[in-house]
Chain A
């Protein structure tokens, strides 16, 4: 069977009836589907609703910060405690339900099996359960807004005792219990997902698909799953201890103390214990958020430079290095915490070390572009944007990594400047790039390139206008999580810059509607796509668009080449598909 206009030849192997037959009926096809492709889309659309909720919350935050007395439509007046609720829920929803959901649960679920030549994930029922458990966690999280006292105000980091004492503030009652419970449920869902990713990658690759021939996207999902496997159990333990302190009277985190003049009734516990447990999870978590974006960036930069990725092996080792070192740096969140200054020094060295593999990746991305034939498709624009944003966000890391410099910078706006550029923009650009890249394969249609360009330009410039100035605010000493800047004299001169950021945020959030419109309209009305519109090499492009239920229509691919064989000298086209049996330089 010849692949369509863009497809390579598919080698024929004996017919392979799929392990489970294609489902019938609406419920089994779209609601409780066992098909990893449907589940991937479910995760993606959950993340899509979550990101708009998260953006809305951040918009309210930005508006209140610069116009504290404003009375907004629908929401009304925002009180200081409400502001902190917005801060908490914005962070929590974005980190968990967007950044830990779309790149891995969404695209990973959809494309890992296909890219390695497998008919599905190793455990389809578990896969289905992992999505629905995530969905339950999401509902529990949103429920916190609607209970007595409202959602918690302790920040996404939930430091005890603020998060452990029910009387520490509004929202710290039932709202905080729901928040912790939601996260605990999310932990379990993530662990189920990680199980599937790891088993599938290790056990279900097609013939010829060695580990070192896997696309870098597969490597990124695999390493991310390992990080999650090791980190989420610790978060779960931290949450269990917190629920016990809050509701059973234990004192894991709570020392002797009073609140509002009343004895808390606890003693002997350590607030630092929460920080250690939380950040032991929390630091790998940020790598969980960025690694899939790195994999996608590598894939797309290579595809649209028509060049193999520069230094494939180095890229793999760099991701492994980031994953491993990611478990050894958690104390850099705790330099000011009262932790031993000697430990701080040790964590600081490890943190500088982790900058090295990140730098290697950046050099290799630049090396991929060097002497390429760059095509500015919408995925490529976002991949290029990813590199720029990763450089910007990454280079503020070495400031915070030095405890000496962390003294003036910790808990100022410099910190959200740093992590937003990486997580809040670069990782999101990874999701956008992946969307524009794989949309044709998932929906059989093309997205509109003109709308994509408008979206890209407004978002790139807009996000830089939001987050680059935050560095200046942090240097000037503006603390984090202040609901207004009215009380300290030295903050007054910073209000105009804060206003600029707010205006930029309003414009940027509005520009996302262009993306949403493009996405939804193109799903139904976009021009039809061929099987391989990008002339790409990896296995998802060797199968039909959209892929059949068992991914390859009964023909398991056999792999002959590495994942990025572009512009191979002597080849008939400027790309050689992974399953193309023609003889070219074996790689």
Chain B
């Protein structure tokens, strides 16, 4: 076996106190060794997933910060008008289908509530799971509202509503390239819709979890993480709407 052997002088450990070491002075380490026994437990997996989500939301935020700065700069941007050899500002805000947007906002906020309910429902299910395993115990047949399915429905409703809003804009003659203001409207609402659709896909995966033989714990984690993502998307939508309505 080849070893790189530098010439190390043989040290006589005269003053060295060998033997058992002290445990490390600081706790250190993200885990603190809690995961020493067995694969990571639910609490660890959930914490890790939530941390991952917080990290993941950062670039999404940066994307919309970037669009915002382009939006604000563009509004004030002077450009050379050949007809007068002067620098002019050519920003014209377009009329938005505000009522439709507000309705969609309500739908989205409602879906945040229903998803939160779904998340807690799963939590209760997990808490009761060990009890349900005991033979002879019956908790009665709860009437369970399928909050998850409701949320997916509301989410799709929101997307359909956005589609209708784009139709309304198109009917008024505002397409993506009509004016700079219309470009930004389509850009930001479109990117938001795309991200929300990603959230819907995650919920569909969670919903199909039982069919895919995923554990209850895994379902809980997906739903928990998606719930925070969803709330973020709702807040982001409110921000975008406010930007488009007021900052022009």
Q: Give me the interface of A with B, judged by CB distance under 8 Å.
A: 4-6, 13-14, 16-19, 116-117, 122-123, 191, 194-196, 198-199, 201-211, 213, 229-234, 236-238, 240-241, 244, 248-252, 255-256, 267-270, 273, 276-277, 280, 306, 375, 377, 445-446, 527-530, 533-535, 556, 558-560, 570-574, 580-584, 586
CB pair B3–A123 under 8 Å, yes or no, is: no
Residue in contact with B77 in the complex, picked from A209, A232, A270, A574, CB distance below 8 Å:
A270
Given contacts A206-B29, A528-B2, A582-B21, contact A571 B11 (CB under 8 A): yes
Closest CB of chain A to B178's CB: distance in Å? 9
Complex CA gap A4/B19 in Å reads 19
Given contacts A208-B29, A533-B4, contact A203 B47 (CB under 8 A): yes
Interface SS, A side? loop
CB pair A198–B21 under 8 Å, yes or no, is: no
Complex CA gap A269/B74 in Å reads 7
Q: Which residues of chain A are near B177, meaning CB under 8 Å?
A: 248-251
CB pair B25–A269 under 8 Å, yes or no, is: no
Q: Which residues of chain B are near A267, meaning CB under 8 Å?
A: 79, 90
Whether a CB of chain A sits under 8 angstroms from the CB of B37 is yes
Known: A4-B1, A205-B30, A269-B180. 9 other contacts (CB 8 A): A18-B39, A195-B55, A209-B29, A528-B2, A529-B1, A533-B2, A558-B24, A571-B13, A582-B16
Task: Name, among B8, B70, B90, the residue most crowded by chain A CB atoms within 10 Å (CB to CB).
Answer: B70
Complex CA gap A267/B36 in Å reads 63
Nearest 3 pairs between A and B by C-beta?
Answer: A581-B21, A208-B24, A210-B28
Given contacts A199-B52, A573-B8, contact A207 B31 (CB under 8 A): yes
B60-68, B120-128, B205-213: which one contacts chain A?
A: B60-68
Complex CA gap A318/B138 in Å reads 62
Number of interface residues of B (CB under 8 A): 64
Closest CB of chain B to A533's CB: distance in Å? 4
CB pair B67–A237 under 8 Å, yes or no, is: yes
Task: Name, among A17, A19, A122, the residue most crowded by chain B CB atoms within 10 Å (CB to CB).
Answer: A122
Residue in contact with B59 in the complex, picked from A229, A240, A528, A556, CB distance below 8 Å:
A229
CB pair A195–B52 under 8 Å, yes or no, is: yes
Complex CA gap A534/B65 in Å reads 47
CB pair B21–A375 under 8 Å, yes or no, is: no
CB pair A233–B60 under 8 Å, yes or no, is: yes
CB pair A268–B90 under 8 Å, yes or no, is: yes
Q: Which residues of chain B are near A533, meaning CB under 8 Å?
A: 2-4
Complex CA gap A207/B11 in Å reads 30
Interface SS, B side? loop
Complex CA gap A572/B18 in Å reads 9
Given contacts A256-B80, A270-B79, contact A530 B176 (CB under 8 A): no
How many A-B residue contacts, CB cutoff 8 Å?
Answer: 219
CB pair B63–A236 under 8 Å, yes or no, is: yes
Q: Which residues of chain B are near A558, meaning CB under 8 Å?
A: 23-24, 33
Whether a CB of chain A sits under 8 angstroms from the CB of B215 is no
Query: CB within 8 Å of A: which of B73-120?
Result: 73-74, 77, 79-82, 90
12 residue pairs A–B, Cβ–Cβ below 8 Å? A199-B55, A207-B32, A229-B55, A230-B58, A244-B183, A251-B177, A306-B6, A445-B2, A570-B16, A571-B11, A572-B18, A582-B16
Complex CA gap A211/B29 in Å reads 7
Q: Which residues of chain A are near B55, meaning CB under 8 Å?
A: 194-195, 198-199, 229
Q: Which residues of chain B are near A213, meaning CB under 8 Å?
A: 28
Whether a CB of chain A sits under 8 angstroms from the CB of B135 is no
CB pair B36–A268 under 8 Å, yes or no, is: no
Whether a CB of chain A sits under 8 angstroms from the CB of B141 is no
Whether a CB of chain A sits under 8 angstroms from the CB of B248 is no
Residue in contact with A583 in the complex, picked from B17, B27, B32, B183, CB distance below 8 Å:
B17
CB pair A268–B77 under 8 Å, yes or no, is: yes
Residue in contact with A14 in the complex, picked from B8, B37, B52, CB distance below 8 Å:
B37
Q: Which residues of chain A are near B187, meaning CB under 8 Å?
A: 240-241, 244
CB pair A255–B63 under 8 Å, yes or no, is: no
Q: Which residues of chain A are near B62, meaning CB under 8 Å?
A: 229-231, 233-234, 237
Whether a CB of chain A sits under 8 angstroms from the CB of B56 is yes
Q: Which residues of chain B are near A5, meaning CB under 8 Å?
A: 1, 3
CB pair B13–A570 under 8 Å, yes or no, is: yes
Q: Which residues of chain B are near A201, meaning CB under 8 Å?
A: 30
Given contacts A205-B29, A583-B17, contact A446 B2 (CB under 8 A): yes
Q: Which residues of chain B are near A16, meaning CB under 8 Å?
A: 35-39
CB pair A583–B66 under 8 Å, yes or no, is: no
Residue in contact with A556 in the complex, picked from B36, B61, B77, CB distance below 8 Å:
B36
B62 and chain A: residue at smallest CB distance = A233
A251 and chain B: residue at smallest CB distance = B180
Whether a CB of chain A sits under 8 angstroms from the CB of B153 is no
Closest CB of chain B to A567's CB: distance in Å? 10
Complex CA gap A211/B37 in Å reads 23
A9 and chain B: residue at smallest CB distance = B21
Complex CA gap A244/B1 in Å reads 60
Q: Which residues of chain B are near A250, meaning CB under 8 Å?
A: 176-177, 180, 183
CB pair A234–B66 under 8 Å, yes or no, is: yes
Closest CB of chain B to A358's CB: distance in Å? 25
Q: Which residues of chain A are near B13, meaning CB under 8 Å?
A: 570-572
Complex CA gap A211/B30 in Å reads 9
CB pair B16–A209 under 8 Å, yes or no, is: no
Given contacts A199-B51, A207-B28, A208-B26, contact A268 B39 (CB under 8 A): no
